[in-house]
Amino acid sequence: MTMLFLQLALMLVVILAASELFTNALEHLGEKLGISEGVTGSLFAAIGTALGLVLTWFASALIRNLIWGVQPHDALTYIVVTALMFAIAASASVLPALRLIKLDPAETLRDN
């Protein structure tokens, strides 16, 4: 049981390190291309969703024994979870951008 927790903790560290590296690379790409943070966030959501789908598809063989009542390659589950995760990620990047649209640039610069 302890070995399982150590493996899970190691997987979490690897996932966090990879996501930090990927986020920094995507933000750097957004700066180089001159696109806004909202667009960069939407790209991040789209690429993350696609990577998640591909990795989940291949990892389903490993978790086949851990799930009950759902087949590992159930199309409806993939569609629902993908739509939900994409909606959460897209709203997390679009809502701050919409808030920034309401700011007056001249007033913001004058305050600083």
Domain boundaries, the chain: 2-103
The pTM of the full predicted model, rounded to 2 decimals, is: 0.48
For 50-69, what is each residue's pLDDT tens digit? 888 888 888 887 777 777 77
Report how far Cα 22 is from the mean position of its chain's Cα atoms. Answer: 10
Structural Rg of the chain based on CA atoms: 19
| Residue in 44, 49, 51, 110 with CA at minimum distance from that of residue 83 | 49
> Is residue 10 predicted with pLDDT exceeding 90?
yes
State the amino acid at position 64 in one-letter form. Answer: R
| Residue in 58, 59, 28 with CA at minimum distance from that of residue 43 | 28
Report how far Cα 101 is from the mean position of its chain's Cα atoms. Answer: 24
